[in-house]
Structure 1
């Protein structure tokens, strides 16, 4: 008589699914306690980042792919160095997007700093 080798795998899978289910319920029931423990680990501070926004660093991570390493434009992306847009127009583009520029790429609270930085590129 041959035994079916798949039965142990099915039992292990069922046990694993059950374990995940019960552990997730336990986590939901203890979410306030878990949050309090995390806050205590962080010295009572929120886990949110309190770093200052650096437009140049942000641009290195987000803008160079389209506008080029020196921000002079490439392909269909215009030059940020030679922009003729006012700071308010730059804020509008950062907020609403324009052409190939996606809207909301820069967090809303940092749009003023980013627009001032882009405008300063042409002044150098």
Structure 2
């Protein structure tokens, strides 16, 4: 009886620990949002996607691309399924050369509406356009 109770208690602790148990980081941007979730704003309402000046901006034929902002948005919203290096994980698409398959507008459409096994991503139109512009430059 004691072994069963201890096993049940231990199993419950593991389940709660795996699920996070509580929300100790409420309002904090941990930089590890799951795909399909919106970025949380910090205390000043800043999602951290704006960069001062033109650092990280490149003109690659798809308009100006804010690379640093796009990379941050992708890490917060895409890396969970597509991997930190965007090479794909399991059944997820490899995004490292996605610009050779789809235009910026097509990528925005995929982000907002999903495609195949990919669900729609719940991000702002501005963030979707930022990421799509950056991904459209990723060609062979």
What's the TM-score, normalizing by structure 1?
0.53
User: Whose helix proportion is higher, 1 or 2?
Assistant: 1
Structure-2 separation of matches of 1:112 and 1:118: 10
Q: Answer whether contact 2:77 2:121 (CA < 8 A) is retained.
A: no
Q: Who is 2:134 aligned against?
A: 117
Q: Who is 2:46 aligned against?
A: 49
Query: After superposition, where does 1:49-68 map in structure 2 within 5 Å?
Result: 49=46, 51=48, 52=50, 54-68=69-83
Give the number of the structure with larger relative contact order, counting CA–CA contacts within 8 Å between residues 6 or more apart.
2
Deviation at 1:50, TM superposition (A): 7.2
Structure-2 separation of matches of 1:110 and 1:103: 13
Are 1:88 and 2:113 counterparts? no
C-alpha change, 1:57 and 1:50, in structure 2 (3 Å) is: closer
Structure-1 separation of matches of 2:47 and 2:74: 19
User: Whose strand proportion is higher, 1 or 2?
Assistant: 2
RMSD (CA atoms): 2.3
Q: Answer whether contact 1:80 1:122 (CA < 8 A) is retained.
A: no
Q: Answer whether contact 2:88 2:95 (CA < 8 A) is retained.
A: yes
Moved over 4 A (4+): none
Contiguous gaps of at least 5 residues in structure 1: 1-46
C-alpha change, 1:48 and 1:79, in structure 2 (3 Å) is: same
Contiguous gaps of at least 5 residues in structure 2: 1-43, 52-68
| Number of residue pairs matched by the alignment | 78
Q: Who is 2:116 aligned against?
A: 99
Structure number with greater Rg is 1
